[in-house]
Structures are given as C-alpha cells and as structure tokens.
Amino acid sequence: MSYFKKIVIGLVITLSLIILAGFGFVYSKLNSIYVRDEAVKSEQDSNEKMVEGITNILLVGIDGRYIDKGNRSDSVMLVTIDSKNKDIKITSIARDTYVDIPGYSTEKLTHAYAYEGIDLLKEVFKVNFDIKIDKYIAVNFVSFMDIMDELGGVEVNIDKKDIDEVNKYIDDCYEYYYNKKDEVKKEYITKSGTQRLNGYQALAFSRIRYTDSAFARDNRHREVAQSVYKEFLKKGPEEYKKCADILLENTKTNISPIQMLNLGYTVFNINDKDIEQLQFPLEEHRNGHIINDKKGWVLEWDKEPNIKAWHEFIYGNENK
C-alpha cells in the first residue's frame, strides 16, 4: 500500500517553524524527538569529505503507524540545503529502485527500513549511491492529514483520468485513518483541474499509483510537498506551534535542537519557492521489469550515468 507521504513536509515545516515559533517552546519539543545516541554515532563515523555549504537530509515516509523498523519506507527523499548558492533541492528516490541491502540481498529500496530501520537505509545510500547520510527525519503517515488541515489544505492539479482513483482512496483514507470524522464530512472530487484539497483528500491524491507510473506518483508527491511549503510560508507563529505539536508526535530525527534551529534559519532565509527537483533513477538510464514472483516489479538502473547526474545535481562542480 502506498500511503504517501512526502516528508518534505516534515523537513520544511519542522525547519521553518523553528525560527518563528519561539525558542523555548520549540527547543523543548525538538528535544523530545531527538535521538542523541544515533546523532553521536553518525558524527563519530563521519570521515568523508564534506562540501562547504551543502547539507543533505534524508526524509523517510513510513508505510504504517510506527517510526521504528518493521514498516517499509514508502517514500524516500533527499533534501539538499545549499546555503552557499541559496538553493533547496529535492531528490525523489523510487521505492522500487533495485539496490544491494547489506546483510540481506538485492531488493527494492523500500524493504531496507523494514529490516533494520534508519541505520540500514543510510548504509544502503552509502553502498549504492556513494552518498553519506548524517541527518534524517522519519515521519509516519498519521501526521500528514492533520498538517494539511491545519494549513487550510493544499492546491494541486488533478487530471481527469485520476478522479475515480482519488475517490477510491478517499474512502479508505477517511474511514480508516482520519481522526476528524465527527467534525469534517467526507467529500469526493467532482472535477479536474487545480483545486484545494483537505487532509484526507491530499493523502488520497498522494496514494494514486495505478492510473500511470510510479514516477508520476512521485511527481504528485513533490507537487503536494511544494504546495505545503508555499502554504506554510504564508502562516504565522500560532500555526507553526500547532504544526510542531502534530509533527512531533509522529517524528524521529538525529538532528539536535540547536542544529535544527540553524537549519531553520538557513531555510527561512533562502525562501526558495521554486525548488529544484530530480527523480532517481533517471528516465533514460533505468529499466523497470518483473524479476520473479518473489521480488516482483523492480527498477534496475545504470550506475555510472545515474550517480554522476545525481552528484552533479547535489554538489554542482564540487561533486565528490
């Protein structure tokens, strides 16, 4: 099942709210989700070259209610904050990307988190993509709908071919996961085009996967994420505090409160409304096919051109 969940929401909202929500309040909240042992271990293990001004943060949307291992990473994105060039970049990594999972076998990327959680997923990035992940934010899908509602919904474009599929998922999202059934009536999508979706509608839109391709689904995820970002920039301190409470109930990170404050300051000053985006693997250097009944449909990819393009996207002329 593909529950969403483009946690760019987790990153952008969590980071942006820091500066404006009040230091004492936010610090205490952030400290409650900070995994200190993992952060120390990451810093001790880090002996690779760092590119000045570049911060890469892994965002993981968990396919279930639990943040720890046992649930798959339905959505994986890498957010690059380039303070030197004042850029924010997002890479969506297809969940079916065929990768070597250390200690297991060659499987879909989505399985790594279910096996051993964030540590194994970070190792997968290092082994397969030559990208070291020091910082991460993991969010489950529970907070997604509440954040959408708190922001007053998000604007997305719905194609005519997707209306029936959205409405099918609306039934599921509303009945099984929505916490405000007593307050909010279920409403279906009745037209195509750009429109504002509430929490359960936005989640349903993000779950569409059978009307086109996995890559089109990732594009919808990024569309939702960027719309969230724009909506969030319009809000004030009270909304930031409410979003913080929602997120922090369902979030895990190894970014310390002080680091989060610094990143929040950087993100808010960049104020990048046109976020650069990359889909990995590249369309011209990938091959989706069924391997066997056990492993199913996977996405094999040509290593050299994909890694080269991805590193250039992240690091520019200073890529490692």
| Count of C-beta atoms within a 10 Å radius of residue 302 | 13
Read off the pLDDT of residues 20-73 as tens digits, 9 standing for 90 and up.
333 444 455 556 666 654 544 555 444 444 567 788 889 887 765 567 666 778
**Percent of the chain surpassing pLDDT 70:** 72
Mean pLDDT of 155-160: 93
- Find the distance separating the first CA and the last CA of the chain, reported in whole Å: 36
Residues spanned by the domain of 153: 144-207
β 251-253/193-197 pair status: unpaired
Residue with tokens 């590119």: 51
Beta-sheet strands, E only, within 202-296: 251-253, 276-280, 286-290
Q: How confident is the model at residue 14 (pLDDT cuts 50, 70, 90)?
A: very low
Per the model's pLDDT, the better-predicted residue between 62 and 170 turns out to be 170
Is the pLDDT at 303 greater than 80? The verdict is: yes
Cα angle: 206, vertex 130, 120; to 5 degrees: 65
Give me the phi and psi of 100, to 5 degrees please: -80, 120
Distance of CA 228 to the CA centre of its chain: 12
- Beta bridge mates, 88: 81
Q: What is the mean pLDDT of the chain?
A: 77
Confidence of residue 172 (pLDDT cuts 50, 70, 90): confident
Same-domain check for residues 153 and 240: no
158/178 same-domain check:
yes
Number of structural domains, the chain? Answer: 2
Does a structural domain hold residue 3?
no
Q: What is the CATH number of the domain that holds 118?
A: 3.40.630.190
Same domain assignment for residues 63 and 123: yes
Query: Would you state the pLDDT for residue 34?
Result: 60
pLDDT of residue 111: 93
237-248 vs 142-150: helix crossing angle, rounded to 10? 170
Tens digit of each residue's pLDDT (9 = 90 or more) over 115-153: 998 999 999 999 999 998 878 888 776 677 888 888 899
3-state secondary structure the chain: CCCCCCCHHHHHHHHHHHHHHCHHHHHHHHHHHECHHHHHHHHHHCCCCCCCCEEEEEEEEECCCCCCCCCCEEEEEEEEEECCCCEEEEEEECCCEEEECCCCCEEECCHHHHHHCHHHHHHHHHHHHCCCCCEEEEEECHHHHHHHHHCCCEEEEECHHHHHHHHHHHHHHHHHHCCCCCCCCCCCCCCCEEEEECHHHHHHHHHCCCCCCHHHHHHHHHHHHHHHHHHHHCCCHHHHHHHHHHHHCCEEECCCHHHHHHHHHHHHHHCCCCCEEEEECCHHHEEEEECCCCCCEEEEECHHHHHHHHHHHHHHHHCC
2 located within any domain:
no
Domain boundary among 192, 207, 222: 207
pLDDT, tens digit (0-9, with 9 covering 90-100), for 176-218: 778 888 999 999 999 999 999 998 999 888 878 766 666 676 6
Both 98 and 246 in a single domain?
yes
